[in-house]
Amino acid sequence: MPEYKLTYFNLRGRAEISRYLFAYSGKKYEDHRIEAADWPKIKPTIPFGKLPILEVDGVIIHQSLAIARYLAKESGLAGQTPVEQALADAIVDTIDDFMTLFPWVEKNQDLR
C-alpha cells in the first residue's frame, strides 16, 4: 500500500478536497500542516513554490486538482468509462469554480 503525505497550510482551502477523498476512501495518510510563519523557509523546497502537494512513496504530485484526480482514481471514484470520467472531472472543476468565489482566493487585497 502506498504511503501518502499531504502538505498544505493549517487551514482548509485547496487541500480540503483531497482530505475529503482520503476520508471517504478510508486510506491512511499524513496530514502535514504548515504554519504561515514557516512558509518563507519551506517555499523554496516546494515544486513551483505552491501548495498543496501530495507525496506518494516519495514522488511529489503538485496542483490541487491533479492530486484530487489521482486520489479519485485510486479510490475508484473517477469513473469506469470515458463519459463517467468526464462527469467526475466536471464535479471537480465545479468545486474549483466554487472555491474561487471565496474572498481568501482573491489575490487583490483591496477586493477581499
Which positions are catalytic?
8, 14, 104
Question: Diameter of the chain by CA atoms?
Answer: 47
Task: Count CA atoms closer than 13 A to 32's CA, side-chain side.
Answer: 13
DSSP state of 28: -
Pairing mode, strands 53-56 and 59-62: antiparallel
User: How far is Cα 8 from Cα 73, in angstroms, rounded to an integer?
Assistant: 21
Paired with 33 in beta bridges are: 8
